[in-house]
Structure 1
Amino acid sequence: MNETRQPGLLPEGEAVETLVEVREFSLRLVEALIFARADPLSTRAIAEVLGAQGGIPHDTADRDAYVAATLAALAAQYAGRGVVLVEVAGGWQFRTAPDLAPRLTRVMPRPRRLARSTMETLAIIAYHQPCTRAEIEEIRGVSLSQQVLDTLLEAELIMPLGRKEVPGRPILWGTSSGFLRHFGLKDLGDLPRREELLVDVPDTAVSPDAPPDAPDEVPDPSAS
């Protein structure tokens, strides 16, 4: 008797580019878990649910390898589709395929945007964290308004990481998990190296009649 196979799922016991055999029930359970969560779901949390719900065979010698194989198999099934499974911000999440995202701009509401000064502050925090407000001001060379920090806090891109043990005990700032989710980073190690972001810009003459440049802006994840 032929086994009925649901679209996008593997038949029982079939392996996907791995030596570990993955059960169809395990794939379906992990798929449902990740789909039901708005935030990325950690591998540890997935493993706990799989173990509690019979998603890991009793005779499995290496449970961690089985969970990893299940996630790899599920990601392979979604590769090339409109929705893909990615590891981001220390967990797993379904996301729109990167090549299709620009095509959705006409049907999705346009998010609020962050000004250049806010993005500069965010970049400094990302690459120098944990850092204080005074240290951010020293790097930028200008004073930092509270409004900039409030905007980044409201967008859930930064968070306080404690206080520096110096006179006044200023707050130490760092990026949040929301920062990783917004920029699609698995962890801070995925940030481009600072030297990769430096480019030589030739000197160009600016006409005195030319209008000043508008601040650079990027999407604000709080509105997405």
Structure 2
Amino acid sequence: MNEPSDDIPGAEPPPEQIAEALAEAAPEAQAPVDPAEWKRALRLAEAMIFASDRPVPHDRLQPLLPEGIKAREVFQALLPRYEGRGVELAEVAGGWVFRTAPDLALTLTRVIETPRRLPRVAMETLAVIAYHQPVTRAEIEEIRGASLSQNTLDALLELGLIAPRGRKEVPGRPSLWATTTRFLEQFGLKNLAELPRREELLAGEGPGLDLRGGGGAA
């Protein structure tokens, strides 16, 4: 019986021909990653996220990885491992964190002490800054329709949720205020484009909202 010809429609070409075709199509393709090195990269990423109190960015993991392994690919590969688990992997504020699955958060509040919440005036101020930044104190008062005490700004500043961002070029050159990286972390946001509806922000419904400690503004 004759072997199938390469010219017969539907006939599978030999492995050597497939390899050559792939090489021609992607001449700059990287060499295969060693399975042991890939497994170690996944474990290293998990350990780094677990040990860090801040989101882990790609550039913090990348120097620890072998050549040919990209940090983003490692984090992306971890995502399916935590789907449907009690802890989820999420990308927030330019880095990666482990956090409680949102559907379990309410149940846990019944048995775990919840962090203190900001006073209503502070949340309103934070919302104004988030949606109108950079903004001056006078502009915050105008938008809220009420006066704003310096203590409120100081509290948000101490928590690392806001930071000064220069001065407005008007008489008196008042400070301009904007939110920080910590603000993104606390509300589980990758960036400001993911800001929730104003009502959700005022309700303090960020997935990782924890105001027990401060943090460096960024």
Shorter-chain TM-score category?
0.7 to 0.9
Taking the aligned partners of 1:119 and 1:145, their CA distance within structure 2 comes to 13
Segments of 5+ residues of structure 2 without an aligned counterpart are 1-33, 214-218
Map 1:171-186 onto structure 2 (within 5 A): 171-186=175-190
- Relative to structure 1, is the Cα distance of residues 189 and 103 closer, same or farther in structure 2, using a 3 angstrom cutoff? same
1:158-197 equivalences under 5 Å are: 158-192=162-196
Q: CA deviation at 1:97?
A: 1.1
**2:45 corresponding residue in structure 1:** 30
| 1:137-156 superposed matches below 5 A | 137-156=141-160
Give 2:60's match in structure 1, choosing from 45, 56, 61: 45
Q: Say which SS state the counterpart of residue 148 (structure 1) adopts.
A: helix
Instruction: Give the C-alpha shift of residue 115 in structure 1.
Output: 2.4
The structure having more radius of gyration, on CA atoms, is 2
Q: 1:25 to 1:105 in 2, by over 3 A?
A: same
| % identical equivalent positions | 55
Partner-residue secondary structure (3-state), 1:159: strand
Q: CA RMSD in A?
A: 2.5
Match for residue 134 of structure 1 among 122, 132, 138: 138
Moved over 6 A (4+): none
Aligned with 1:99: secondary structure? helix
Q: Deviations over 1:155-174 (max 9, x none)?
A: 32111112222222211101
Aligned-pair distance for 1:153?
1.8
Contact 2:117 / 2:211 at 8 angstroms: preserved in 1?
no
Distance in 1 separating the partners of 2:58 and 2:143: 37
Higher relative helix content: 2
- Structure 1 stretches lacking a partner, 5+ long: 1-11, 15-21, 51-55, 198-215
Could you state the TM-score of these two structures normalised by the residue count of structure 1?
A: 0.70
Aligned 8 A contact 1:154 1:222 in 2: no
Size of the aligned set, in residue pairs, is 176
